[in-house]
Structure 1
Amino acid sequence: MSEVALAESEVESAENRRDFTRTSALNIVGNVAKILVEGAIGLAFGSVALLADAAHSVADVVGSVVVFVWGRSVYAAPDETHPHGHQRIEPLTALFVGGTIIVLGLYLLYESASALLTGPTVTFSPWLVGGLLFALADMSLLYWYTTRVNERVDSSALAALAVDCFNDIFTTLAALVGIIGVLFGYPFMDAAVGGVVSILVIYQGLKVTRENVTYLVGAAPSEAERQRIIAALRAHPKAEGVHDVAVFYDGTRLEVEAHVEVDGELTLVEAHDLETELIERLREMDDVGDVHLHLDPAGIGEWKDARE
């Protein structure tokens, strides 16, 4: 990589780290505000829906703090203890958020079922509607901002926080429907609607968790993604063949290992320059991180294929 390209990469990394930090901090502030407003009003008027929605945001705060503290490490340069960088910290952070979403979804489901069995205790007040409208505006703005920043940063941890904000919009809307039901003489709706939405929360948590487990265990990408990388190698005019290709996730980035067949008469310097060209070609592609290539003289076969 040229010095200019390296400098541009470092600047971009610093900007991404700054945007990541600001966005995760705003998620903490936004969720704390939602907890204080909904919690106070829910306690005052006995609304299970508001208290459950506020409890959901307690987990959001925990997740946002973890993202704020751990997630920025992905932008740290490789060091002696992490020679391949810190990319796996990001999906680990997102995995924690996904697990938290699942736990709170189960809690919401339990609270809703309990309220249906024991009978509602909510008393209608315009404050209930006001608190939910505040929460709805709060989470909508937070979701919009987090998603907008992540279009540029492309972080799985911020994506998990955005999913959490999106879930909050639905849980708040559900709570609002329940409170309107209370207004019209159907107090059981306060808990019933919350139970339905809690299932959506659990589903979203499972989706985030499954995706980030894929990143953590070094799973292979889709076959289309693998073929895209092979095609990029074969497109070089001096590449006569490609084999033993391994493409797998290292964190949210793809790591590539491959053998490329080239003219066996190339000098060592020419082979070195060709290898550099091929590596740079792959690293310029979206989602590709480390690349490890082995150049083979074309036509002589692999040592492992030789007869004993």
Structure 2
Amino acid sequence: MPRSAVVTSLTAVRRDRLRRRVRFIVGFTIAYNIVEAIVAISAGTVAGSAALIGFGLDSVIETLSAIAVAWQFTRKDPERWEKLAVRAIAVALFLLAGYLVVDAVVSLATGERPEESPWGIGIALLSLIIMPVLAWIETRTGRELGSTSVQADAKQLLLCTYLSGAALIGLLANSLFGLWWADAVVALVIAALAVREGLEAWRGGELESSVAVLSELGD
């Protein structure tokens, strides 16, 4: 067999393997984020925490993002649907940011004080462990495939890591020090991050900021 044919065959095999990995990652992400969203939104509603509810809503958006990528990679020609998948992710991020800004401003204006939330603290800690690993794997996979949508979805996972840390800070600040306003401030920080990541996803090609750090760690 000519060497060129072997290379072509190996390239095709590698591409199929990477696509299967993407499908596994997004499948796991969907399952995990459904649980995360239920816990975070329920705990946030009980505690009256804007940051925790926002964290849960981001889990819903991550689920939709993963579904968009999963749908894309069930197509015969995934690259054809790249732009549509990325734009869907960006729109979802903008909607999240809008909700968080309104909710945080209302909370600050009315002086609404969130209650303590052990369940919220627990789910935020768990996400801080799981999401960076998933984001790192998906980032490297997306770069090797040359897929903007996979990299955009990885940024969603990385954003979840930021949100986990931010929500945890707000929850602990309220629980330990009684800083009720920290929850709303954290929600505004989350909104700003969502807008930034949404703009980068919308532009499509500019996916090098925070995701690049994860990729460099593995080099």
1:175 matched residue in structure 2:
167
CA contact (8 A) 2:86 2:204 kept: no
Which of the residues 139, 157, 164 maps onto 2:156? 164
2:23 corresponding residue in structure 1: 21
Identity %: 26
Shift of 1:72: 3.9
Deviations 1:246-292 (A, max 9, x none): xxxxxxxxxxxxxxxxxxxxxxxxxxxxxxxxxxxxxxxxxxxxxxx
CA deviations on 1:56-114 (whole Å, 9 max, x unpaired) are: 111111111111012343xx3xxxxxxxx552312321221122112212222222112
Q: Following TM superposition, by how much is the alpha carbon of 1:167 offset from its aligned partner in structure 2, in angstroms?
A: 1.2
Residue 30 of structure 1 contacts residue 138 of structure 1 at CA under 8 Å; is this kept in 2? no
Q: Is the 8 A contact 1:179 1:190 kept in 2?
A: yes
Shift of residue 162, structure 1, vs aligned partner: 1.0
Partner residue, 1:59: 61
**How far, CA to CA, are the matches of 2:69 and 2:78 in structure 1?**
14
TM-score normalised to structure 2 length: 0.82
Q: C-alpha displacement at 1:205, in angstroms?
A: 0.6
Aligned counterpart, 1:190: 183
Describe the shift of the 1:19–1:153 C-alpha distance in structure 2 as closer, same or farther (beyond 3 A): farther
**1:52 Cα shift?**
1.2
* Counterpart amino acid of residue 61 in structure 2: A
Q: Answer 1 or 2: higher relative contact order, Cα 8 Å, separation at least 6.
A: 2
Structure number with greater Rg is 1
CA-to-aligned-CA distance 1:163-191 (integer Å, 9 cap, x gap): 11111111221212211221212111111
Q: Counterpart in 2 of 1:12?
A: 14
Match of 2:80 in 1: 88
Q: What corresponds to 2:37 in structure 1? A: 35
Give the drift of 1:122. Answer: 1.1
Quote the Cα distance in structure 2 between the aligned partners of 1:164 and 1:107.
17
The structure with the greater share of residues assigned to helix is 2
Please identify, of 108-117 and 37-46, the stretch whose mean Cα deviation from structure 2 is larger. Answer: 37-46
Instruction: Assess, with a 3 A threshold, how the Cα gap between structure 1 residues 14 and 113 changes in structure 2: closer, same or farther.
Output: same
Matched with 1:234 is none
Deviations 1:114-142 (A, max 9, x none): 21122224112433322321232232232
How do 1:293-304 residues align onto structure 2 when only pairs under 5 Å count? none
Corresponding pairs, count: 203
In proportion to residue count, which structure has more strand?
A: 1
Unmatched 5+ stretches in structure 2:
207-219
TM-score, length-scaled by structure 1: 0.60
Identify if the C-alpha distance between structure 1 residues 194 and 11 changes in structure 2 by more than 3 Å, giving closer, same or farther. Answer: same
Q: In structure 1, how many angstroms separate the alpha carbons of the residues matched to 2:5 and 2:103?
A: 58
Match for 1:22: what amino acid? F
Task: Give the 5 Å matches for 1:190-269.
Answer: 190-211=183-204
Equivalent residue of 2:204, what SS? helix
TM superposition shift of 1:149: 3.1
